[in-house]
Amino acid sequence: MRSLSCLPVLALFIVSCHSASHPPLSLTATSMYSIDTVRMVAGSGDEKAAGKKIQEAVALFKKGSDTAGSLALFESAVQLNPTARAYFDLAGLLIAGRKYDEAINALYIAEKLNYTPLANVMARYALAYSNRDSAFNKDEDGNKIPSEKALHYMELAIEMGYAHPRDFLQKTQFPNLAGTPLFDATYVAAVGGGPGINSDKGLWESFSGQFPDLSLPLVIDRKWIQAHGHGADISTQYEKYIPEMRNVRFAREESYNYYYVGLIHRDANYIALIYCSTMEGAEGESSLVYTLASYDHHGKIIDMLPVAGREDVAKNFMAFSIQPNLLFQVQEFAVTYKEKPEEAGYGADNISGETPSKPKQYHIGSSGKFESMGSSLAAR
């Protein structure tokens, strides 16, 4: 299915003839969302005139210079010949124009006119509600939380057999939906076939699908970390894919958090991801570590390696770089301090310099294993 937020290329409304004694009926701007009136007009509209306006609307939309004009033409076409498909496509254009309430009205008419597949209507409802409600749904810290209606329609779409459930994980299509425990639980249950079912497939799809694509070549060093930081929180329900998350679950004096960073590579054999972890200790010490991990397509871990940041304030900082051919290196930097860090702290204001060590070279092999280039990997 094409992106839900864009107007599909339309080739609709085949020309037909109408009896001169029964002129075509049409709707108005005020009646086009009244289902009773729509049903009176449906099947008796002017397909020829509607088809012409559809072509004009599509041509104008493709130019991208007059979205409002394209929308007005399309609405006129719907009024002339209301069909389930026309209302469904109108909703897509309305969503693209950020007219979410009107898009929801259009989807309601498409649903009542028995648009098929109905799962696609539910998915587009989720898109409209997700974007509409994002301005209002925030937690006490001001962070956006997913719309309950968006989650409801997402769940219905998946249960009805929506062909592309991973769409709901994509930030480009649903920027305000994924990335919260409530979303994760709803998605996993829906993909698994029902509430309470902890489906391995749904769990893995939900986890792996929330990593945004990373462009290669990529360098993660101090400058990159300052500019990008880390992504959305990773829920503890995904601990089977991050072993250290399970190991520190009951830590009393430290606070550990895990974050999505991005997708490095995906092929028929494996998927390679980077996630980030932070630790805040009782005495104020902290760590920030970026881990490269590879998995098979069932979520089984193939290989893992810390590649950037540092696991402890007293340890060397690591920088990571990877090329499009999946050759990568990890380089450590020994930090020197102006004053004793135990007394003056490990912060940037106490750092006098860093001495780079010889980079360790690796390659992600065809099986997903991290192969050392020259020197053997330490036991991991």
pTM above threshold 0.75: no
Q: In angstroms, rounded to a whole number, what is the distance separating the alpha carbons of residues 316 and 322? A: 20
* pLDDT value at residue 248: 63
Q: In angstroms, rounded to a whole number, what is the distance separating the alpha carbons of residues 271 and 64? A: 36
Token code pair at residue 231: 């992504």
* pLDDT value at residue 250: 53
142 pLDDT band, cuts 50/70/90, is low
At 293, is the secondary structure helix, strand, or coil?
strand
How many C-beta atoms surround the C-beta of residue 43 within 10 A?
A: 10
Residue 104 has pLDDT above 60, yes or no: yes
Nearest to 42 by CA among 93, 73, 12, 85: 85
49 pLDDT band, cuts 50/70/90, is confident
* pLDDT value at residue 1: 45
DSSP assignment string, 333-349: EEEEESS-HHHH-SSGG
Write out pLDDT tens, residues 189-204: 888 765 444 467 788 8
143 pLDDT band, cuts 50/70/90, is low
User: For strand 255-266 and strand 271-280, is the pairing parallel, antiparallel, or unpaired?
Assistant: antiparallel
**pLDDT: is 67 or 102 the higher one?**
102
* pLDDT value at residue 7: 39
| Residue 355 near residue 348 (C-beta atoms within 8 A) | no
By percentage, how much of the chain surpasses pLDDT 70?
Answer: 82
**pLDDT: is 136 or 132 the higher one?**
132
Residue 216 has pLDDT above 70, yes or no: yes
Residue 42 has pLDDT above 90, yes or no: no
Q: What's phi and psi for 276, nearest 5 deg?
A: -120, 145
| Residue 296 near residue 302 (C-beta atoms within 8 A) | yes
Write out pLDDT tens, residues 240-281: 999 888 776 555 556 788 999 999 999 999 999 999 998 875
Write out pLDDT tens, residues 110-134: 999 999 999 999 999 999 998 888 7
Quick one: average pLDDT of 93-99? 90
Q: In angstroms, rounded to a whole number, what is the distance separating the alpha carbons of residues 23 and 21? A: 6
Q: In angstroms, rounded to a whole number, what is the distance separating the alpha carbons of residues 211 and 294? A: 13
* pLDDT value at residue 191: 83
Long-range contacts of 356-363 (CB under 8 A, 24+ apart): 356/331, 356/332, 357/316, 357/331, 357/332, 357/333, 358/331, 359/329, 359/330, 359/331, 360/329, 360/330, 360/331, 361/327, 361/328, 361/329, 362/305, 362/327, 362/328, 362/329, 362/330, 363/326, 363/327, 363/328
